[in-house]
Structure 1
Amino acid sequence: MNNSSDSGICLSTPQHMSIPVLMCLVYFMGFLLNVFSLWVFCCRMSSWSAGTILQFCLALSDALGAPVTPLIAVYFAMGNKWLFGKVLCTVTIVFVSSQFYGSTIFLTLISFHRYKAVVHFNKSSRMKDKSFIKKLCAGVWLFLITHSLVYGFGVPATKEGEVTHCLSFSQVSLTNSFFIISCVLVSIGFLLPLSISATCYFRVKNALTCLNITAKSLKVKLKSQRMIQMCLIIFTICFLPANIIGITATVMMKFYPEHCHTLHQLQTAYYASWIIAGLNCFLDPLLYCFGSQNFRDAFPSFHIKSTEPQQSDTEMTPNAEKITAV
C-alpha cells in the first residue's frame, strides 16, 4: 500500500513495540556494563598503558547512547511523533552519532595499536607513547563532537504534514542533508575504519607465519591477533547492518521518494539495526576482560589457576623487546 499524503509526503508508520522495548533493554544493560568498566579503569587500575587509554575512551563512547534511549523509545511508542522539541532532537542525534562512530573509531585504534605492537615490536612507535595517545584521543573526541553537531543541526526535527519527526526518512525537506551527511559518515566513520581494521588483522596474521619467534612469544602474538579479530568481528556484526540499511534508505529517499512502502520497511529495519549496534556495548567489555591483562589484574580473584606462567600486557618478546599493553 502506498501510504502517502496528498502532498506526496510519505507518512510515517508506527513502529512495533518490540523495537523500543528491546532498544531500552539492550542499551540499559550495555550502559551498566560500560559504567562498570569505567569504574574499573578509574578506581581499580593504578596505572594506565596506552592501550588502557584507548579502552577507556571506547567504554565512554559506548555509554553515550543510553541517556537518550528513553526519548527514542517514547518517540516510537507515540507512533513516530516527536514531542520533545528541536533542541532535544539535536541532543539525541549528537549522543547517538557520537556513540555509534566513536565505537567504530576507537575499535579501529585498538586494532592499529596491537598491529604496531606485534608487527613492529622492535621499532619505536608513537602508538606506544601515552602522551601521544592522549592527544590522539582528544583529537578523536573533538572530531566526534564536531561531526555530531553538524549532523544534529543538519537534520533537525521538522514537521511533515501534521506530525513532527526526528531522524526519520519521512523528513522529505531534509532529503539532500540526509544524503550528503550519510555518504560522508559511511565513508569516514565506517568504510575507512573497517578497511584499517581488516588490514591490521591480515598483516598480523601474515607476520605470525613469517617471523622466527619462540613458542612463548608466539602465544603473546596470537593473543594480539585474537584481539584484533574480535574487534573486527564486533565491528562487522554490530555496525555493518546499520550502515548498509542507512545508506540504502537515503538513496531511496533521494531518488525514489514515491516508493513509500519500501521506505517504511527500510526505516523499520534501520531502527532495528540500532538494537544490533547496541550489542556492541555488551561485547566491548568482553574485549577488556579477556584481552587485557591489566583489566583482569584489577580483580585478583578473577584469575584461574594454571601451571603456565602469567603474562602481563607488557610481556617480553624475543630479544627482550616488549609488546605494549592493550
Structure 2
Amino acid sequence: MDFLGYDYDTDLNDSNYDLNEPCMQQKNTNIELVVGPYVHSIICILGLVGNSLVIVTYAFYKRTKSMTDVYLLNVAVADLLFVASLPLIVYNELSSWSMGPVACKLLRGSYSMNLYGGMLLLACVGTDRYVAIVQARRSFRLRSLRYSRLICGIVWSAALLLSLPTFYFYHWYEPSHKMYAFVNESNRTAELPHYVCEFWFTDNSTALRTKVAVPGTQLAVGFFLPLLVMVPCYGAIVVTLMKARNFQRHKAVRVVLAVVMVFVVCHLPYNVTLLYETVRMFQLYSCDEIDVLKAAKTLTQTIAYLHCCLNPVLYAFAGVKFRNHFRSIVMDLWCLGKRYIAPRRFSRVTSMIYVSARRSVDGSGENGSSFTM
C-alpha cells in the first residue's frame, strides 16, 4: 500500500507466468495492523474535523473574498475528500476488496485526483502569498476572484488528467496467488476467494511504462513541483517580512517557516522511499529487503497523511480573522445547544451571550488576514 495504492509487485495477470510463492512480509504486516486501524483512524478524524470546519467557515461565516480564500477552500475540499476515501481503502487493503469493481476505480481514482489537486493548490497558495506580500503593488491586478477560480479549474483538470491511468488501469480481480484457510470439519485447507483492487495489465510493455510513469509523475508533480514553487516564494516572503517594520513580522516569519518545514518533514521521507524503489524497480530483491521496503513505505506514507490534518492549522486557523470566525462557530453551536436543552431557563441569557459574542468576534478581526502573513 502506498500513496496512490500502487503495488509495484503486482503481477501482469498473464496466464503464461510461472508464479513463485509470494513473500510473507511479516514486518510490514505487523506495522499495517497497527497503523491501518488506529493511526489512520486518528488521521481521518482530525482531517475530517479540521477541513470540515474550514469549509463551514467559508460557507456560512467568512465567504470567499480573495484569491487566498478560494485556494484555501479548495485545499480543504481536496483534503476532506482525501481523508474520507482513506478508511475505505485501508479497510479493503487489510482484507479482501469487497466493494466491487466500480468502487475500486472510483475510490482509487478520486484518491489520486485529490492528492494531486491538494499538492498543486498548495503551490498556488505559495505563489499567491508571494504576489500579495513581495509584489504588493501588482497584487490588486493579479489577485482577482476570476483568476483564482480559473486557476482552480485548471488545477482540478490537471489532477484529473494525471489520475487517468489510475482510473483506467485499476481493476477488481482475484490474483494468481490464492488464499487458504483451515476448515475444522475436514481438517484440510480450503481455498477462499480473495479479491484485490490493484493495477492490472494485459502486456509487458504497458506494465513497464506505467510502473515507471505513475511513480515518476507522483514524484515530479506531487512533491518536487510544489517544493520548487514553495521554497523560493516563501524564501522571498521571509526576506520581505524581515525588512518590514511591523511588530507581528516575527510571528508571520514563524508561520512561513512552519509551512515549509511541515511540508518537507511530512512528504520528504515518503518520496525518498518512493524514489529509491522506482530507481531499483527492475532489480531483484530478497524477501527480507521487500519486507523492509514495504514497512518503510507504510510508515513514511502515514507521516505524509498527517499533512491533511495540519493544513487547516497552518493555512487557515493561523490567521487572526479566521480564528475569530471559528470562535463565532463555537459560540453559535453552544448557544444553539443551550437553546434546545433549556429553552425557557436560558433563553434570555443565551440571546444576550449570542449577541455580545457575535459583536466581539466579528468586530475584532475585520482588519485581519485569512493568513497570518
TM-score, length of structure 1 as denominator length: 0.78
- The aligned residue for residue 213 of structure 2 is 180
Q: Structure 1 residue 164: deviation in Å?
A: 4.3
Mapped contact 2:321–2:367 kept (Cα < 8 A) = no
* Shift, 1:140, TM fit: 0.6
Determine if the alignment matches structure 1 residue 242 to structure 2 residue 298: no
Distance of 2:259 and 2:358 partners within structure 1: 23
8 A Cα contact 1:20 1:72, kept in partner: no
Aligned to 1:219: 248
Compared CA separation, residues 257 and 127, structure 1 to 2 (3 A): farther
Aligned residue for 1:166, secondary structure, equals strand
Structure 1 residues 189, 70: closer, same or farther in 2, change over 3 A?
Answer: closer
- DSSP 3-state at the match of 1:279: helix
Deviation of residue 38 (structure 1)?
Answer: 0.8
Residues 1:7 and 2:19 aligned together: yes
| Distance verdict in 2 for CA 1:55–1:127, change over 3 Å | farther
Q: Give the structure 1 partner of residue 161 of structure 2.
A: 146
Q: Which runs of 5+ in 1 are unaligned?
A: 315-323
* Structure 2 stretches lacking a partner, 5+ long: 1-10, 12-16, 179-193, 329-356
Task: Give yes or no for contact 2:113–2:163 (8 Å, CA) kept in 1.
Answer: yes
Measured at CA, do residues 277 and 258 of structure 1 come closer, stay the same or move farther in structure 2, by a change above 3 Å? closer
Distance 1:47 1:208, change over 3 A: closer
Q: Could you tell me how far 1:151 is from its partner in structure 2?
A: 2.6
* Correspondence for 1:40 among 57, 60, 71: 57
Q: CA deviation at 1:302?
A: 10
- Structure 1 outlier segments of 4+, above 6 Å: 302-305
C-alpha displacement at 1:269, in angstroms? 2.4
Q: Return the offset for 1:125.
A: 5.6
Aligned to 1:63: 80
Distance in 1 between residues matched to 2:176 and 2:113, nearest whole Å: 26
Is contact 1:27-1:65 (8 Å) kept?
no
Question: Aligned match of 1:130 in 141, 145, 151?
Answer: 145
Per-residue CA deviations over 1:67-96 (Å, capped at 9, x if unaligned) read 322332323432xx4343443232222232
Q: TM-score, normalised on structure 2?
A: 0.69
Tell me, in whole angstroms, the C-alpha distance in 1 between the residues paired with 2:196 and 2:46. 27
Does residue 256 of the first structure (1) align with residue 283 of the second (2)? yes
Measured in 1, the distance between the counterparts of 2:107 and 2:121 equals 21
Q: Is the 8 A contact 2:97 2:197 kept in 1?
A: yes
In 2, Cα distance between equivalents of 1:259 and 1:168: 23
Counterparts of 1:9 and 1:178 in 2: how far apart (Å)?
22
- Cα 1:95/1:302, change in 2 over 3 Å: farther
Residue 205 (structure 1) aligns with: 238
| Shift in CA distance, 309/96, structure 1 to aligned 2, threshold 3 Å | closer
Q: CA deviation at 1:199?
A: 0.7
1:269-280 alignment to 2 at 5 Å?
A: 269-280=296-307
Pick from 193, 197, 203 the counterpart of residue 166 of structure 1: 197
CA distance in 2 between partners of 1:10 and 1:250 (Å): 20
Q: Which whole-Å CA distance do the structure 2 matches of 1:184 and 1:94 have between them?
A: 15
Structural RMSD (CA): 3.5
Please tell me whether the aligned partners of residues 321 and 366 of structure 2 are also in contact (alpha carbons under 8 angstroms). Answer: no
Provide closer, same or farther for how the CA distance between residues 238 and 99 of structure 1 changes in structure 2, counting only shifts above 3 A: farther
Structure 1 contact 86–156 (Cα < 8 Å) conserved: yes
Q: Specify the structure having the higher radius of gyration (Cα).
A: 2
Q: Which has the higher contact order (CA 8 A, sep 6+)?
A: 1
Q: 1:63 to 1:53 in 2, by over 3 A?
A: same
Question: Does 2:310 align with 1:283?
Answer: yes
Who is 1:115 aligned against?
Answer: 130
Counterpart position of 2:183: none
Partner AA of 1:77 in structure 2: L
Summarize the Cα distance change of 1:126–1:310 in structure 2 as closer, same or farther, 3 Å threshold: closer
- Give me the whole-angstrom Cα distance separating, in 2, the residues matched to 1:160 and 1:276: 32
> Which of 226, 231, 251 is matched with 1:193 structurally?
226
Contact 2:116 2:221 in 1 (8 A): no
CA–CA separation in structure 2 for the residues paired with 1:248 and 1:256: 11
User: Separation in 1 of the partners of 2:219 and 2:99?
Assistant: 28
Deviates more, 1:159-168 or 1:119-128: 159-168
Q: For the residues of structure 2 that align with 1:166 and 1:185, how far apart are their CA atoms?
A: 19
Whole-angstrom distance in 2 between the partners of 1:89 and 1:41: 32
